[in-house]
Amino acid sequence: MFTLKGSLLCVERVFKANLAQERMISFCLMHRNTHRFNTFQTVSKLPQKRLNSITFPLIDMERYLDSNVSKTNFRIFDPRFDDISFAEQFFTPSSNHFIHYYTSAVRMEHAPSVAKPEVCFIGRSNVGKSSLIKALFSLVPGLEVRVSKNPGHTKKINFFKAGKTFTLVDLPGYGYKAPTDFVEMVEDYLKTRHNLKRTFLLLDGSIGIQKADQIAIDMCEEFGIPYVLVVTKIDRPQRGNLLKNILDIQQIIEKQTKGCFPQPFLVSSLNYSGIHLLRCFIAHVTGNLQKNKA
């Protein structure tokens, strides 16, 4: 029998189904479109403005900043497109360049002794460490890097080898739901890893710097290791919020750090902004970019 309540329910169901369908379509479109941007070749064919904003997201922010804000640290690492394109080969598998998950360790005595240069990724749980490694290695078919919306997902130190060139290391996050032996595990790693060329300390661009991040910065300073701040998830916040968070981070770099690279790196693992520049920087700090100049 026809009732008003029944027909309203019916309309509501149709509306919800349409909404779900729309969301699914936009999710698919987003992934189809952004996935294309994982190669620099595709990005380099974009119109100039879009090319620059995906490749150099920090420089792209300049136009929104007051003229009295110092931008001197925005272009310290400022490679040519040619270098960015060259660096991509280290993240692309080939018959003589095997990229793969190597092993995991919960304590340093289980860590592999790798002579090649190494870089690692640290940061609060859920900041996007694993997602970033996944984006960097997105040209490797079948390489599994596990990410999760639940904090505390990565419990071990995970080693990924890029042929004979370098190793990337994914570490468990600190803060909420961190493994109980986190401090021992990560501190030991940072203190004793002789081949560690650079530590990438990730900060969530949509949240800004937190107390736990400040503690991690202090730890890197105390250990005297060279490190870089990477601002993640830049696709998420509104531009005003992102700018404020970046300026706060720049202040901290200028006023409180000695071992930190003066230029922060901005990335989105979702739309690949900043990923190509970061690939190039990793090639540089591991001594592989120099081969282009030789």
Ligand X SMILES: Nc1nc2c(ncn2[C@@H]2O[C@H](COP(=O)(O)OP(=O)(O)OP(=O)(O)O)[C@@H](O)[C@H]2O)c(=O)[nH]1
125 contacts ligand X (rule: CB under 6 A): yes
Q: Which of 84, 85, 129, 165 binds ligand X (CB under 6 A)?
A: 129
Question: Which pair of tokens denotes residue 234?
Answer: 């830049």
Given the complex with ligand X, which of 224 and 240 has the nearer CB atom?
Answer: 240
Rounded Cα distance between 85 and 41, Å, is 7
138 contacts ligand X (rule: CB under 6 A): no
**With b meaning 16 or more CB within 10 Å and e meaning fewer, what string describes 188-222?**
bbbeebeebbbbbbbbbbbbbbeebbeebbebbee
262 contacts ligand X (rule: CB under 6 A): no
213 contacts ligand X (rule: CB under 6 A): no
Rounded Cα distance between 153 and 165, Å, is 28
Given the complex with ligand X, which of 70 and 150 has the nearer CB atom?
Answer: 150
Residue with the CB atom nearest ligand X in the bound state:
173
Write the single-letter amino acid at 238.
Answer: Q
Given the complex with ligand X, which of 131 and 263 has the nearer CB atom?
Answer: 131
152 contacts ligand X (rule: CB under 6 A): yes
286 contacts ligand X (rule: CB under 6 A): no
Neighbours of 39 (CB within 10 A): 17
Q: Which of 130, 158, 199, 245 binds ligand X (CB under 6 A)?
A: 130
CA dist 246 to 108, 234, 237, 265, Å?
34, 10, 12, 10
Rounded Cα distance between 12 and 145, Å, is 39
Given the complex with ligand X, which of 79 and 172 has the nearer CB atom?
Answer: 172
CA 149 to chain CA centroid, Å, is: 15
Smallest Cα–Cα separation from 88: which of 126, 138, 128? 138
Q: Which stretch binds ligand X (CB under 6 A): 59-67, 147-155, 221-229, 245-253?
A: 147-155
Q: Which stretch binds ligand X (CB under 6 A): 29-37, 46-54, 218-226, 227-235?
A: 227-235
34 contacts ligand X (rule: CB under 6 A): no
Smallest Cα–Cα separation from 246: which of 292, 208, 196, 219? 208
Q: Which does 151 bind (CB under 5 to 8 A by kind): ligand X, Mg ion, none?
A: ligand X
Instruction: For residue 167, give the H/E element and its range.
Output: strand 166-170
The least distance separating ligand X from the CB of residue 107, rounded to whole angstroms, comes to 18
199 contacts ligand X (rule: CB under 6 A): no
The contact set with ligand X (CB under 6 A) reads 123, 125-131, 147-149, 151-154, 172-173, 232-233, 235-236, 268-270
